Amino acid sequence: MTSLPVPKIGPYPVSAIGLGCMNLSHAYGISPSEADGIRLLNHALDAGVTFFDTAALYGMGANERLVGKAIMHRKAEFTLASKCVLDVYDGKRGLNGRPDAILKTLDQALVRLGTDHIDLYYLHRLDRNVPIEESVGALARAREAGKIGAIGVSEMSAPTIRRAHAEHPLAAVQSEYSPWVRNVEVAVLDTCRELGIGFVAFSPVARGFLAGAVSSLDFVEGDIRTAMPRFQEPSFTQNLALFERFKTVAETAGVTPAQLSLAWVLSRGDHIVPIPGTRSITHLDEDLAAASMDVSVEAFAAVDEIFAPGAVAGPRYSPAMQAQIDTELLPEEVAG
């Protein structure tokens, strides 16, 4: 077992690096076999991971079922997080933040996970057609009923976070954060620090890009990166040049690129917990080692220089995907 530092997300002590379970069932093309997914999830527990993140959307419920089958018999060993609002409605992905839809998704999630309680439950995205207070209120009632232990929100702006937190105290805010996605630095990180809310960083190695896992655009069918401008030409070639510089910094620091990215995220605040995802036990062990690595301030400064404002080519989402994101835009995105 790896000895990982133990920060807190709300009332829950968790490992300094958690596990995002999404890509075991969703988003990056062909999913691994159920047996391989079960093996990886249990290895993560054995290696010291005590924070696992899933969602109703992932694999149209398949990811929650996998987590339920793989590790819920070991529930006393970890904190479980899942999400609602962004789900499948009438066979299609959609947003529904109405209280009745939230509670229906939650009840279905409990069945899929094989439990009567989810520790941390997020509003996965902001439904702009429903006041955030109504959506949070539904989760507050679910908490009173004992179905969930704490409330979180995902990919929301500082003003929305403040409104949500006023309705019911939030334990966590989850958003994308890595050296090449810095939107939460506009206001969200400071807001979380001020309000005592934990921050959970998804895609902390930039959807594999800062791990060196994406060297060409030969994605398999169904990989969501094909719709992301940073993984399309001409932006992709420009961004590969940034990665080569990043890789050199990692080599000089004596760490892998993925470890440098994770160590950088961890260095940004003691209220931040990254949740990288992987299908590889070897890569999982590599990721977890980043929590105990001593990376120099100079190396982090070099990372910041590489990914200075405006350096990354292309927006992080297509217009259709960005429409579901409430997190603040960076100045260069607004200007663009």
Residues with active-site annotation: 58
313: which DSSP letter? -
Name 299's Cβ contacts closer than 8 Å, sequence gap at least 6.
249, 250, 252, 253, 260
Q: How many helices and strands (H and E) does the chain possess?
A: 12, 12
DSSP 3-state of 123:
strand
13, with CB counted inside 10 A (0-12, 13-18, 19+), is: exposed
Q: Which of 56, 117, 51 minimizes the C-alpha distance to 79?
A: 51
Gap between the Cα atoms of 274 and 200, Å rounded:
6
Q: How many CB atoms sit inside 10 A of residue 334's CB?
A: 8
In the chain, alpha helices (H): 34-46, 62-71, 99-113, 132-144, 158-167, 188-195, 235-253, 257-267, 281-289, 297-306, 319-322, 331-335
Between β-strands 51-53 and 19-20, what pairing exists: parallel, antiparallel or unpaired? parallel
Please name the residue that has the structure tokens 């719709």.
227
10 forms beta bridges with none
Gap between the Cα atoms of 151 and 167, Å rounded:
11
| Angstrom distances, CA of residue 84 to CA of 87, 302, 312 | 7, 38, 31
